[in-house]
């Protein structure tokens, strides 16, 4: 007997920050990143995987997908059957750390963009 299986395919949506990050990558990296993100199924999201984390923030459930050297922070909209990538961040970046540990992102971006912050980090090398 043959069974019929349906795989829920999500529509992918990207925030302005996510699109800006993707546009900075070369074509191969863009394709790999989007392929990793588009490969998520309802089953993977439900059961989890080693590359997928889940946490609560401001009453919402957010996910963190490890995709090579990048981290995709996204939310599921089951009603629309879509995934919304809010942030795509480089691994080991200050912003990635701040998002993971639930600090306000706007403060993180301000801190990371401030020239004295980078000067301080460089001074730690000496």
Q: Which long-range contacts (CB under 8 A, 24 or more apart) does 2-6 make?
A: none
Question: Does residue 9 have a pLDDT over 70?
Answer: yes
- Say which residue, 113 or 79, is predicted with more confidence: 79
Per the structure, the complete domain to which residue 15 belongs is given by 11-91
Task: Tell me if 119 is assigned to some domain.
Answer: no
Q: What's the pLDDT score for residue 32?
A: 93
Q: Is residue 18, in this structure, part of any structural domain at all?
A: yes
In terms of pLDDT, which residue wins out, 22 or 95? 22
Within a domain: residue 1? Answer: no
In a domain, 103, yes or no: no
**72 contacts: CB under 8 Å, gap ≥ 6:** 18, 33, 36, 37, 64, 65, 85, 87, 88
CATH number at residue 16: 3.30.2310.20
Contact assessment for residue 58 and residue 102, using Cβ atoms and an 8 Å cutoff: no
Number of domains in the chain: 1
In a domain, 109, yes or no: no
More confident of the two residues 4 and 22: 22
Share of residues in the chain with pLDDT > 70 (%): 67
Q: Is residue 42 part of a domain?
A: yes
d(CA 104, CA 10): 28
CB contact at 8 A, 38 and 12: yes
Does some domain include residue 74?
Answer: yes
Q: What is the pLDDT of residues 42-68, one digit of tens each?
A: 888 888 889 998 888 778 888 989 999
Residue 4 lies in a domain: no
């Amino acid at each position: 007997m043959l069974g019929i299986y349906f795989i829920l395919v999500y529509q992918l949506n990207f925030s302005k920050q996510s699109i800006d990050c993707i546009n900075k990558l070369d074509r191969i990296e863009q394709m790999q990143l989007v392929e990793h993100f588009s490969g998520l199924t309802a089953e993977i999201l439900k059961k989890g995987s080693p590359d997928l984390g889940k946490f609560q923030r401001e009453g919402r459930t957010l996910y963190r997908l490890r995709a090579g050297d990048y981290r995709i922070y996204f939310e599921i909209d089951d009603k629309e059957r879509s995934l919304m990538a809010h942030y795509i961040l480089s691994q080991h970046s200050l912003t990635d750390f701040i998002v993971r540990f639930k600090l306000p992102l706007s403060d993180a971006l301000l801190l990371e963009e401030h020239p004295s912050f980078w000067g301080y980090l460089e001074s730690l090398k000496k």
